[in-house]
Amino acid sequence: MIDTNDSVNSYSMNCGITLEAFMFQSFWSHLKHRHRFWRYAVRTERESIAYIQSLDLKGTTVLDIGANRGVFTYWLSQCVGSSGNVVAFEAQPELKETIQEVERMFKLTNVDLRMTALSDACGTTTFNRAYAGHGGGSIETDSSEHIESETIEVETTTLDTIKDSLPRPIQFIKCDVEGHEDSVFKGATQLLSEDKPVILVEIHECAVPSIADQLHQLGYSGSFIAGSQQFPISDFNSQPYRKDGEVHRNYIFEFTA
């Protein structure tokens, strides 16, 4: 039998820190993650997380495309439960440790993390970002809300290429890839046609018509939530955004054909 105290002591010694410092560091990390989850649920992404929680996702497979620091990964994991699966995709290698820490701390045993970018082709491409882990980083050069200061090379694949490695069917997709949505969906036409998952995707204002048309051709109808009401996607230009100067929001697409 492994002595937990000995294991913790050994780990802290190997890291070159005292047990007290290690315990404080772990507690502080747990608190930061918990606060981030709470902040997104009650403020930053209140409508989107409430919408996800309203769906019957227990025991299903869902995708988190653009997992970043694992906030939606966490909430999706809670929604699908121990009998479900969350497959999370993240392109930035520095965020692997952060997401794995979330998995460990909150016992997310139903998460399958894949460190790759999704696109419409397999290979490598340039990823633009302001700094490592930045939420506005993207394959698209003009999508970030901040000036890019560095680029990295990332691996790309398509959902259609890897669909047979996923637990099927896919019931729900959350997609936040900062302007690269059209390429992600181009690389997923077979999967979308076969599984018909509900899609929650962040889209910048200028791209709404093209993404809506792209998904409409696959049998999807779009809408969005503003305040406490759900509007058809045709109203995207008539409803205010949450903040002044904001030009993006999350849109819901459901298969209706």
pLDDT in the model for residue 162: 99
Where on the phi/psi map is residue 199: left (φ > 0), alpha (ψ -120 to 50), or beta? beta
**pLDDT tens figures, 125-173:** 999 998 887 888 888 876 545 455 799 999 999 999 999 999 999 999 9
Asked if the model's pLDDT at residue 46 lies above 80, the reply is: yes
pLDDT in the model for residue 147: 55
Q: Strands 229-232, 220-226: parallel, antiparallel or unpaired by DSSP?
A: antiparallel
Cα separation, 80 vs 57, whole angstroms: 5
Asked if the model's pLDDT at residue 5 lies above 80, the reply is: no
Cα separation, 89 vs 156, whole angstroms: 11
Average pLDDT of span 64-70? 97
Asked if the model's pLDDT at residue 22 lies above 80, the reply is: no
**pLDDT tens figures, 28-40:** 789 999 999 999 9
Q: Strands 220-226, 248-255: parallel, antiparallel or unpaired by DSSP?
A: antiparallel
- Output b/e per residue, 132-153; b: 16+ Cβ within 10 A: eebbbbbbbeebbeeebeeeee
Q: How far is CA 221 from CA 76, 200, 252, in A?
A: 23, 12, 8
pLDDT in the model for residue 37: 95
Average pLDDT of span 22-50? 87
Helix (H, G, I), strand (E, B) or coil at 186: helix
In this structure, whether the domain defined by 45-255 belongs to CATH 2.40.10.220 is answered with no
Strands of 23-114 (E only): list them: 61-65, 85-89, 111-114
Asked if the model's pLDDT at residue 7 lies above 50, the reply is: no
Cα separation, 229 vs 149, whole angstroms: 39
> Burial of 8 by CB count in 10 Å (0-12 exposed, 13-18 middle, 19+ buried)?
middle
Q: What is the DSSP letter of 20?
A: H
- 23: confidence class by pLDDT, cuts 50, 70, 90: low
Q: In what order do the strands lie in the sheet with 248-255?
A: 111-114, 85-89, 61-65, 170-175, 198-204, 248-255, 220-226, 229-232
Note the pTM of the prediction, 2 decimals. Answer: 0.87
Average pLDDT of span 168-181? 96
Residue 254, Cβ neighbours under 10 Å: how many?
14
Average pLDDT of span 193-207? 97
pLDDT in the model for residue 19: 57
